[in-house]
Amino acid sequence: MAITTYEGVVEKGRIRLKAGVRLPENATVYVIIPEAQTKKKKFARVPTPRLVHRKQASEFKMTVGKG
């Protein structure tokens, strides 16, 4: 598999390649975004556990000992 790279920009949600670049219809392409250009860092969200029954709350009590 041969690989050729082309530079372009995203405008209104579409990728626009530099002038003069023509790709055949249905060509398979791969988009690589340099890390320096990403605006937002994504973080994993870990939700807090929810109890089904309030009576279970006593099972989650924590004791702190003197160290």
- Over the stretch 10-31, which tens digit does the pLDDT of each residue have? 899 888 998 888 889 998 888 8
Average pLDDT estimate for 40-48: 75
Residue 62 has pLDDT above 70, yes or no: yes
Predicted pLDDT at 25 = 93
Predicted pLDDT at 41 = 67
How far is Cα 18 from Cα 11, in angstroms, rounded to an integer?
Answer: 12
CB 21 within 8 A of CB 6: yes
How far is Cα 21 from Cα 49, in angstroms, rounded to an integer?
Answer: 52
